């Protein structure tokens, strides 16, 4: 008999407002889009205002959002981390019941 396989983790589904989605759809800067940004951008192109992340993707998103030098609040500025913070703070709070 084969051992029971664990169930696949359910993906995290986020619905962003048009304003939140626009943070990810902003024109790319010099140097191109980072890998995470491209992944999110493609999802928004295929399913407007909808993002689906597995455990690994959610972990990556949270790490990017938290990588700050502390000189500014996380939601300020035009860098990827700030835009992720502005785009996902509301949906994450809602999903987590905060």
List pLDDT tens digits, range 44-56: 999 999 999 999 9
Rounded mean pLDDT of 28-49?
79
- CB 26 within 8 Å of CB 41: no
Is residue 30 very low, low, confident or very high in pLDDT (cuts 50, 70, 90)? Answer: very low
Give the rounded distance of the alpha carbon of 21 from its chain centre: 10
What is the b/e burial string over 68-92, where b = at least 16 CB atoms within 10 angstroms of the residue's CB? beeeeebbeeeebbbbbbbbbeebb
Angle value at C-alpha 11, between 92 and 26, nearest 5 degrees: 55
Across 35-62, average pLDDT: 91
- pLDDT for position 79: 77
């Amino acid at each position: 008999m084969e051992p029971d396989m664990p169930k696949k983790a359910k993906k995290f589904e986020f619905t962003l407002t048009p304003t939140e989605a626009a943070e990810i759809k902003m024109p790319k800067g010099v140097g191109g889009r980072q890998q995470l940004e491209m992944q999110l951008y493609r999802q928004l192109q295929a399913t407007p205002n909808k993002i689906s992340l597995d455990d690994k993707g959610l972990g990556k998103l949270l790490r990017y959002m938290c990588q700050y030098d502390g000189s500014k609040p996380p939601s300020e500025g035009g860098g990827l981390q700030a835009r992720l913070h502005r785009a996902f703070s509301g949906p994450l709070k809602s999903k987590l019941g905060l």
